[in-house]
Structure 1
Amino acid sequence: MPITLENVGIAVRDLDEAIAFFTDLGLTVLGRDTVSGEWADTAVGLDGNHADIAMLQTPDGRGRLELFQYLHPDAIETEPTRPHEIGMHRVAFSVDDLDEALEIAVRHGCHPLRGVARYGDAYRLTYLRGPSGILVMLAEDLTKGSLPS
């Protein structure tokens, strides 16, 4: 059976803030909507499901991120996921220039958890906290072009 990843969905506390962060990193908003009704209750398994949603896409058209902000029932705040916890972990993006991506993230108040790491001669990468505490990994492929000094 063929299978294709459709998208990764993430609940956020402020949809506009999350959209601004991810579009500044280079994703494009494909559309926004408000969902509710019996079909949404059935699909999600939650009575009274009512949310504002946005679908974003990576520039290459291969990756999609669905962001949603619950209107009803009230969203439940939880502690941000830590890198070693079981369950939904992070969303990862390849970037052409990690330093530029981090400048964008910092403008949104998002900073690396510890710093920028180098994985041999292959990648420079970092984890940071994005909007609503989302763990975001940014990685620059050092095998594309010349290595930074």
Structure 2
Amino acid sequence: MAIRFENVGIAVRDLEAAIAFFTDLGLTVEGRDTISGGWADTAVGLDGNHAKIALLRTPGGEGRLELFEYLHPDAIETEPTLPNEIGMHRVAFQVDDLDAALAIAAGHGCHPLRGVANYQDVYKLTYLRGPSGILVMLAQDLTKGPDLTKD
């Protein structure tokens, strides 16, 4: 059997704020829709399922995020996930300039949980809370030189 990774889905409080955060980091909106109906109820397992969704793609095309904001049933507020909790943990992105990515995140009111770490001079990385409390890991590969193709 062949298998291929499709996407990670994340429920958010405010779809537009989440789209702005992730597109500012470099993802692009691939599509948007509002979903409802019997097929959505069956697929997701919620009666009266009605949500706005957006599918975002990473610049290299190797990964996608599906963001959704529930219109019905009402979204259930929960405590933000802690790094050591069982279940959906975080979404991680490799960036070529961590300081620039953190400046973008700060523009959305998102800051590192504790600071920036250096993992064996291989990665400079941090966890931060993105929109709706999503844990986002940003990492810069220190073994790669600067991208000289940039202006």
The answer, yes or no, to whether TM exceeds 0.5 is yes
Q: Does 1:103 align with 2:103?
A: yes
SS at 2:18 equivalent:
helix
Question: Match for 1:140: what amino acid?
Answer: Q
Counterpart Cα distance in 1 of 2:6 and 2:32: 16
Structure 1, unaligned runs of 5 or more: none
SS at 2:128 equivalent:
strand
Instruction: Give matches, 1:106-145, under 5 Å.
Output: 106-145=106-145
Counterpart Cα distance in 2 of 1:62 and 1:35: 25
Match of 1:37 in 2: 37
Moved over 3 A (4+): none
Counterpart Cα distance in 1 of 2:67 and 2:106: 21
Counterpart Cα distance in 1 of 2:86 and 2:62: 26
Structure 2, unaligned runs of 5 or more: 147-151
Aligned-pair distance for 1:3?
A: 1.0
Aligned-pair distance for 1:121?
A: 1.4
Match of 1:76 in 2: 76
- 1:34-54 residue CA offsets vs partner (Å, 9 max, x unmatched): 000000000001100000000
Q: Does 1:60 align with 2:60?
A: yes
TM-score (norm 2): 0.96
Aligned length: 146
Match of 2:149 in 1: none
TM-score (norm 1): 0.97
Aligned-pair distance for 1:2?
A: 1.7
Aligned-residue CA RMSD in angstroms?
0.6
